[in-house]
Amino acid sequence: MVATIILIILCFAIAFGATALLMPPIVVILKTCRLFDRPVARSTHKNAKLKGAGWAVIPVCLVLITSLMMAYQLPLSFYLLPASALLLMLISWQDDLCHMCPGKRFLVQVIVVGLAILALPYQGYIFQGFLPIWLDRAIAFFALLWFTNLYNFMDGIDGLTAMQSIFLGAAIAFILMLTQPMIDTIWPAYGMIIAGASAAFLVWNWYPARIFIGDVGAVPLGLLLGWYLLFLACQGQIWPACMLPLYYCFDATITLVRRLKQGHKPWEAHRFFFFQAPIPHKYSQEKVVLFVLLQNVFLLICAVLVSMGSLFSEELPAILAAGFSVLGLLSYFESKRQ
């Protein structure tokens, strides 16, 4: 356990340091290319901001994760994950440069997510064998496809994506170490790599942000973290895997359903997410991010309680508390909309 803790701290520090070193030259390149996100009616920022910080975050994550896979001599199927994330990063960069046709972009995402699903451990079932493997993997595919997109959808205010990535990477790593003490060290280290790189980005993205991560960063982060949640479920922790990202999932899904009922196209940008409701009328962006962080901490506490339970009757109170607390925060945010 001591060796594991030392390795994950080292991975966090290396990811943080490498991303921090990459950020200044990436900023210079992006300024030279004049790649700015200019404010429009739906924006929460008032001045043009650089976008494309994903070029510092994602390569660091992929290089370190791939290096660990090689060091631990994992089966070749696992390498489909970093390869998928790399392909998704390149496609998303094209979308940052010149908006791609939504249909073409979605088709690429379907292929990439399918490859990432093949990287899941074959012996691991999301639903622990209650469903046949083909159905288990089909549900995992659609869940990962949606999570990859919602992660990008929720990238709407300064600091939110960076904070959520730090939280999910560290929280999943913690649950794995708590419930699977004999698991290969690579898997807790995986989450801490993402957390470390995201922490370095947060320095640049905290309100007022100097740079945005862009689709080139948010979309592959959604894939990497969504896959990590599925991996956690494969270790017998499906409830914690569902609970940790609950705020993001509820906010994005409820908002999408409401907009579809109103006749809007799902890929159109907007300002109708719950976390956007109090901005700028009631709260600043950093206060909203702190609200979501506090909610996440409560979700982690509930997830830990569930992971230590042996009977569903023991787990149910924590599951209900997690769900109702998120609905309560969404309702509170919505009450501030003007």
Distance of CA 88 to CAs 31, 50, 109, 116, 220, Å?
23, 21, 7, 11, 6
Give the pLDDT score at 119: 95
Six-digit token pair at 240?
A: 């914690």
Distance spanning both ends of the chain, measured CA to CA? 51
Give the pLDDT score at 271: 79
Amino acid at 45: H
Give the pLDDT score at 113: 97
Give the pLDDT score at 35: 83
CB 166 within 8 A of CB 195: yes
Distance of CA 18 to CAs 57, 64, 69, 275, 307, Å?
9, 10, 19, 31, 33
Look at the alpha carbons of 285, 289, 290, 291 in this order and tell me if their dihedral is positive or negative. Answer: positive
Residues 71 and 181: their CA atoms lie apart, in Å, by: 20
Give the pLDDT score at 45: 62
Kind and range of the H or E run holding 211: strand 211-212
Give the three-class secondary structure for 40.
coil
Give the pLDDT score at 329: 97
Residues 191 and 228: their CA atoms lie apart, in Å, by: 8
Residues 118 and 99: their CA atoms lie apart, in Å, by: 29
Kind and range of the H or E run holding 49: strand 49-51
CB 60 within 8 A of CB 16: no
For residue 107, what are the contacts with CB-CB under 8 A and spacing of at least 6? none
Give the pLDDT score at 270: 73
Give the pLDDT score at 38: 73
CB 115 within 8 A of CB 121: no
Give the pLDDT score at 88: 96
Six-digit token pair at 301?
A: 């506490």
**Along the 338 residues of the chain, how does pLDDT read in single tens digits?**
787 899 999 999 999 999 999 999 999 999 998 888 776 555 666 677 899 999 999 999 999 999 999 999 999 999 999 999 999 999 999 988 887 888 888 999 999 999 999 999 877 889 888 899 999 999 999 999 999 999 999 998 999 999 999 999 999 999 999 999 888 899 999 999 999 999 999 999 998 899 999 999 999 999 999 999 999 999 999 999 999 999 999 999 999 999 888 888 777 777 789 999 888 766 788 999 999 999 999 999 999 999 988 788 889 999 999 999 999 999 999 998 87
Name the phi and psi angles at 50, rounded to 5. Answer: -65, 150
CA 218 to chain CA centroid, nearest Å: 8
Give the pLDDT score at 281: 63
Give the pLDDT score at 15: 98
Starting from the edge strand earliest in sequence, which strands make up the sheet with 36-37, in order? 36-37, 49-51, 211-212
Nearest alpha-carbon partner for 305 in 295, 291, 294, 316: 316
Q: How many domains does the chain have?
A: 1
> By residue range, what is the domain housing residue 114?
2-335
Residues 117 and 125: their CA atoms lie apart, in Å, by: 12
Six-digit token pair at 162?
A: 């960076």
Give the pLDDT score at 310: 76
Q: Find the farthest-apart pair of alpha carbons in the chain and give their distance in angstroms, rounded.
A: 59
CB 39 within 8 A of CB 48: yes
Q: For the chain, how many helices (H) and strands (E)?
A: 12, 3
Six-digit token pair at 230?
A: 């599925």
